[in-house]
Amino acid sequence: MRIGSSGTVESMTTARELTTLDANARAFAGSSSPRVILVSLVVVSVARGAFAGPTWLDLAMVAAVVVLVGPVEWIIHRWLLHAKPGQWLGEVLGTRDSHERHHRDPDDLLWLLLRRPNAIGSCAAIIVPIAAIAGIVDVWVTPESRSLVWGAALTAMAAGLVALAHYEWVHLLVHSRYQPTSAYYRRLDRNHRLHHFRNEGHWLGVTVNTADRLFGTLPADRGAVPLSSSVRSLDSPTR
């Protein structure tokens, strides 16, 4: 396997060639998005060390990220990645176009993981809003509490970045030929394949299906979900 100057794996073009966990790990390490996420995580972690040690507020932030992962994944997948043609936000961010390419050839490594600009944007989408909220709270708390606020904010950023890395890793695994050993990841694998090859309007969660349950997109009987004619093109006007 050879890593090109752009940070992508040049000798491999499809996830179908990945049959083992080790092969997936090497492909993952050779891609741009994990590197961008790792650099962001290191910077955030170093900054976290400049503030007060972990408190109950840090635990609360981690718990909040865990709870929000499902809804956030679902919302992004449904309203940005599967945006209707011409919807301005999806067009401006380029999310619809890149995701449409992914659906046309789901195992193409070029569009499976986040490309470098999208990875940078995703990290910023985690860091910037949390920093903005912390900045607002900082105005209203006592000087003694500011270290706790910023420490907890940086913990939340780190947890969000870890969740993003997990998303990328799981997304690669479910498109490869590697067979997960745990029931949880086998279920994620099955659901994501149904999303790609049966109906793009269902099974929108990638690392967790809590929001699919909440919003009714995780049917108990997959046979009750009709085969979609736009599952590859994402051009259905009714989505």
Highest-pLDDT range among 3-17, 94-108, 167-181, 221-235: 167-181
Residue 83 parent element (H or E): none
Nearest C-alpha neighbor of 34 from the set 115, 121, 102: 115
- Interatomic CA distance for residues 81 and 69, integer angstroms: 16
Work out the pLDDT band at 12, boundaries 50, 70, 90: low
Which residues make Cβ contacts (< 8 Å) with residue 61, sequence separation at least 6?
152, 153, 155, 156, 159
Q: What is the pLDDT of residues 75-84, one digit of tens each?
A: 999 999 998 8
Q: What is the pLDDT of residues 13-59, one digit of tens each?
A: 899 999 999 999 999 999 999 999 999 999 999 999 999 888 999 99
Please report the pLDDT score of residue 30 as a whole number. Answer: 92
Please report the pLDDT score of residue 44 as a whole number. Answer: 98
Note the Cα 29 to chain centre separation in Å: 16
- Give the CA diameter of the chain: 59
- Interatomic CA distance for residues 71 and 174, integer angstroms: 20
- Interatomic CA distance for residues 155 and 130, integer angstroms: 10
**Token pair recorded at residue 26:** 């090497």
Reduce the DSSP state of residue 10 to 3 states and report it. coil
Q: Which residue has the higher pLDDT, 194 or 87?
A: 194
Q: What is the pLDDT of residues 186-232, one digit of tens each?
A: 999 999 999 999 999 999 999 999 999 999 999 999 999 999 999 98
Work out the pLDDT band at 108, boundaries 50, 70, 90: very high
- Interatomic CA distance for residues 171 and 119, integer angstroms: 14
Mean per-residue pLDDT over the chain, rounded: 90
pLDDT of residue 89 exceeding 90: no
- Interatomic CA distance for residues 57 and 159, integer angstroms: 13
Continuous H helices in 53-145: 56-76, 88-93, 95-104, 109-112, 116-140
Sort 92 into a burial class: Cβ within 10 Å, 0-12 / 13-18 / 19+: exposed
Eight-state DSSP code of residue 105: S
Which residues make Cβ contacts (< 8 Å) with residue 3, sequence separation at least 6?
9, 10, 30
Work out the pLDDT band at 3, boundaries 50, 70, 90: very low
pLDDT of residue 178 exceeding 50: yes
